[in-house]
Amino acid sequence: MHDATQLSPIRIGLVSTSDRASNGIYQDEGIPALKDWLHSAVQNPLQFEERLIPDERAVIEQTLTELVDIAACDLVLTTGGTGPAVRDVTPEATLAVADRVMPGFGEQMRQISLHFVPTAILSRQVGVIRGKALILNLPGRPRAIAETLGGLKDKDSGAVIAHGIFAAVPYCLDLIGAGYIQTHHAVCAAFRPKK
């Protein structure tokens, strides 16, 4: 068990892919939503590397590579660009920089979203490992970001309806040699097998 006062900082890359937001046509909501949720869920000191970029595959690939290889992020979360539209190329860019694919993350994200909309099957989010970092594509809407990361609970009983993907992130980072994350149990109960 790690003492919360002794936890090392975790460096997290936050990438919002949007032509319009990156051109100042509207304000990006993805990165603020990610930061809010992470601050509520993670006990470690957090260091963010933020990027607001257009839906250009080469730019996304370069950004993800830089965040892992140069900025030394333990975790990179992207938001936006995962649908079937022509300009939605975040999954392709993510897969292009991957050493290994972690399909369970995308499967669970779609499972969570299917509780709300049948069009969740159109989402193409992926999770991959590059070096000692985990890269995850998340939805673009703030509410969907929180639901995907934190999961769904029954309003009356508090019973888990669908586990959020972040519950598996700390143990995944342990296994790949990235930084150790400790969560606030009430927000996100990270699962680690008992030794």
Contact 127, 104 (CB under 8 A): yes
Quick check: is 20 in a domain?
Answer: yes
Decide: residue 125, CB within 10 A, 0-12 exposed, 13-18 middle, 19+ buried: buried
Cα–Cα dist 118/38, whole Å: 27
Question: What does each of the 195 residues of the chain score in pLDDT, given as a tens digit?
Answer: 556 668 999 999 999 997 676 667 778 889 999 999 999 999 999 999 999 999 999 999 999 999 999 999 999 999 998 989 998 999 999 999 999 999 999 999 999 999 988 999 999 999 999 999 999 999 988 999 999 999 998 888 888 889 999 999 999 999 999 999 999 998 999 999 987
Quick check: is 181 in a domain?
Answer: no
CATH of the domain at 149: 3.40.980.10
Q: In terms of Cα–Cα distance, which of 178, 90, 92 is closest to 131?
A: 178
In terms of residue numbers, what domain contains 69? 8-176
Task: Give the predicted TM-score (pTM) of the model.
Answer: 0.94
Amino acid identity, position 109: M
Quick check: is 183 in a domain?
Answer: no
The domain total for the chain is: 1
